[in-house]
Amino acid sequence: MEPFTARDMDENKKIVTLSILTVLCVFLEIIMHIYLGVSIGYTHFFYVLLVLAAIWYQRKAVIIAVCLAATHLGIGYFMFNESLWAPLLRSAMFVIVTILVGILSEEHKKAEGALQESEKKVRALFDQTFQFIGMMTVDGTLIEANKSALKFSGVKESDVLGKPFWETPWWSHSPELQERLRAAVKNAAKGEFVRFEATHPAADGTLHSVDFSLKAVVDEAGNAVFLIPEGRDITDLKRAEAALRESNERYLVYIKEAAMRLKTPVEVVRQNIANLVEDIKAGEIERERLVPQLQFQVKNMDQIRQNILDLNKTIVDGFGEIPPASKKFLTE
């Protein structure tokens, strides 16, 4: 068995109301027409029943109109032998008015349904986006906030709606940001687009960096009617940028230190070769001594080469991705 809903209760109220009005109309018809002999005037009350029925049930209300018209026509024509045209005309008006009001009610209901469907789509888009979005009056009073913004700070609509935006939990932690927001609201109300970086406290108390913007919704005359605040959580982006800067700084420090360490052995080899060249020019070195000296310097150069390859391998493995061809050149 399905539960009794508020909609069922409203439907029952409508039926009871129409039933009471129908009884009253029939009662008036009997008292005024049969007992008092009055055939006009009181029928205006019938339109209250017919209009309400047409508004609530559209053209289905014609059933009530036909029944009421038949009752009026039957009493007037068949019981009192009145002229057919007078009660027939009034009875026809009952039906015509009911049909017209029913058609208007149907059109209104369709338009209302389309509007509600459109509002649902806008609300779904409004609430499902990851960005923080709201709506304010031009004086800065918050009138809408999407679910992402509410969930982020762990607040309810009742906690923030109807308050100046700068007094809400997103801004109350910083008097400086509150003042900046007040100025932004004034500028946005003039039609300016405002954007700056702010911080908002999350539900767990941590501060998040937010890319905040504020723009106006204008009417046909170009006057601001609403303000739209938007915020994008850029905390992860800021952390990534900070980590990249730190990595680059460590990279530069490492390169400088490695260059300093390689400078000394390279300088020693250079000086030894320079000395050998001078000795050869002066004829102060024999062939037997020259070969071992050159072999020794070649060995030193091989060691320096290996040190450079080790340095390059460390750079490749520890500081981000390098194309395969370049990696092979650096490490082999």
Q: Express each pLDDT in 258-314 by its tens digit.
A: 666 666 677 777 777 777 777 776 766 666 676 777 777 777 777 777 777 766 666
30 in a structural domain: yes
Phi, psi of 213 (to 5 degrees): -140, 155
Name the domain boundary from 92, 126, 160. 126
CA torsion sign, 83 to 88 to 90 to 91? positive
90 in a structural domain: yes
Assess whether 221 and 243 both reside in one domain.
Answer: no
Max mean pLDDT among 155-164, 237-246, 304-313 falls in 155-164
Assess whether 180 and 244 both reside in one domain.
Answer: no
Assess whether 120 and 12 both reside in one domain.
Answer: yes
Mean pLDDT of 198-220: 91
258 in a structural domain: yes
CATH of residue 285's domain is 1.20.58
* Mean pLDDT score across all residues of the chain: 78
pLDDT at 105 over 70: yes
Max mean pLDDT among 6-20, 54-68, 111-125, 150-164 falls in 150-164
pLDDT at 107 over 80: yes
Task: List pLDDT tens digits, range 108-131.
Answer: 888 877 777 766 666 665 556 668
Quote the pLDDT of residue 189. 92
Q: Is 164 exposed, middle or buried (0-12, 13-18, 19+ CB in 10 A)?
A: middle
Name the domain boundary from 177, 203, 233. 233
Domain housing 72: 6-126
CA torsion sign, 316 to 319 to 321 to 323? negative
Task: List pLDDT tens digits, range 59-103.
Answer: 888 888 888 788 777 766 665 555 666 677 777 888 888 888 888
Assess whether 102 and 10 both reside in one domain.
Answer: yes
1 in a structural domain: no
Quote the pLDDT of residue 201. 92
Name the domain boundary from 202, 233, 264. 233
